[in-house]
Amino acid sequence: MHEKIHDVLIIGSGAAGLSLALRLPRTLRIALIAKRSIEESNTLYAQGGISAVVDAEDSTSSHIADTLNAGAGLCDEETVRMVVEHGPSSIRWLQQTGVEFTREEANLHLTREGGHSHRRVVHAADATGRALEVTLVDQARARDNIDIFQHHIAIDLINRGNPDGGKTCLGAYLLDINSDRVRTFRARFTALATGGSSKVYLYTSNPDISTGDGVAMAWRAGCRVANMEFMQFHPTCLYHSKAKSFLISEALRGEGARLLLPDGEPFMPRFDPRADLAPRDIVARAIDHEMKRLGADCLYLDISHKPADFIKEHFPTIHQRCLEFGINITREPIPIVPAAHYTCGGVVTGHNARTDIANLYAIGETAYTGLHGANRMASNSLLECLVFGERATADILARLDATPPPADVAPWDESRVGNPDERVVVSHNWDELRRFMWDYVGIVRSTKRLARAKRRCNLLRHEIREYYGNFRVNNDLLELRNLVEVADMIITSAQRRKESRGLHYMLDFPQRDDRNQRRLTILFPDNYSPR
């Protein structure tokens, strides 16, 4: 009853996980895991769109150059080229699955976002992620070979040692949140598509599920993790006590919205010649700088100079959401603040999405592929999910005949633990972790701030590990356990990079150092064994 056997176990139900599930043949038995409802994912909340070269006036070389420039010298050019070249076919695949993008007469309507030199962002109004997620979920529900398990959170991967010293993944232990029972999922192949880690910060544009589960599990299992110092802060989230950091899409700036100080003065031209269309890292730091300089609670984003009908047509979701909070964006500027948004680092993979552990894949924001470098360019993230979903599919099919069913594994053992006595410990540690990460490891860092964060993180890690070892698992404890691991990775990586580059800005080392600094910040777990 508590053991499930599949050909492919996919942990995560956003664009990355769904892309893999739907591309695999119907002859394979697939388990698709969702931590909450199947629709709840980072993808669902993505507003902007998907970057792809589909316009005759655009070019692959231009998209590559823009991505490399945004990545501040740390992108893997071969990866960038591969992903960009697969952009048009990824859009066609989505259209074939039923995703309806905004059109302008016979052509797809394209918008432009920060860092892009052309209009190349394919979108569905200002709710592209929702259109994609809902459509792909409907397709998954219609497949009789895809078993959907909602309200399940992964605890740890199940591995077997190999004669060569490496490991093979056999599946994972998962907690059924509704029943509080742990299930064993065995599979020939396992894919981590759990999204990012932005919930490690106090303020984030991400949903509550973004707790770095895939990165932490892969790390504990023995995978390398890279570039975790590069956490992207979205510059424009709605500032309102009840809005819970509702994202204001970068597409507004692509259509002419201007960033303003409280007195109405535009300030971005003082920070970058691209002004409001500068990449996100530059814009987020500029906003952070001006807020601290002025002691302001927020700054403003203004598109009210555009015709009201244009705003309502292009940004219906943002318009309606702001109205709910008493802000009419056709007549007044939007109060905004930066918030943690995207994890550029992650589990190290190759072009086939393989990790360091045999039969284990990582896709999407969970993975580090080399596409984003030191900063992710807007709307490249959904493209990465789609392309690497396709690449993982091809690799699984190529290895299918040579991969036997997973071996028997030991059931989950909780015979030596008891029920949690004081859950307040978990909630207190959760709050403390996210606050010191925001204060000390945020948009602007320093050696002293990182040292303070490291000391606090070490204490929390010890306390959480002790708690985990003595009590039965629950959702909050598992998420906190993963978050503290991810926090330590971010702090450690930031301490090792003694320069300012992309999303990582150090007061002690304010200049980029191409001569002395590492290309990648790779963390090796204690149990890492290269295959």
Report the catalytic residues.
280
The answer to whether the CB of 224 falls within 8 A of the CB of 530 is no
Give the span between the Cα atoms of 35 and 200, in whole angstroms: 17
What element of type H or E holds 339?
A: strand 334-343
- The CA-based dihedral angle spanning residues 197, 201, 205, 208, taken in that order and rounded to the nearest 10 degrees: 60
Question: Which positions ≥6 away from 235 have C-beta within 8 Å?
Answer: 259, 280, 283, 284, 286, 287, 336, 338
**Per-residue DSSP letter, 527:** T
β-strands 30-33, 146-149 pairing: parallel
CA angle 301, 303, 306 (to 5 degrees): 170
How many residues can be counted in the chain? 531
Cα 50 to Cα 111: distance, rounded to the nearest angstrom: 10
Token pair listed for 512: 């980029």
Is there a contact between 514 and 219 (Cβ–Cβ < 8 Å)?
A: no
Q: Which residues make beta-bridge pairs with 11?
A: 33, 192
In angstroms, the CA 504 to CA 481 distance is 25
The C-alpha atoms of residue 383 and residue 53 are separated, in whole angstroms, by: 11
Quick one: tokens of 368? 């580090």
Spatial separation of the C-alpha atoms in residues 98 and 136, rounded to whole Å: 8
List the helix and strand counts (H, then E) for the chain.
14, 20
Q: Which residues pair with 154 in a beta bridge?
A: 174
User: Would you say 441 and 448 are in contact if contact means Cβ atoms under 8 Å apart?
Assistant: no
Per the structure block, which two tokens stand in for 377? Answer: 């360019």
What sign has the CA pseudo-torsion 108, 79, 31, 198?
A: negative
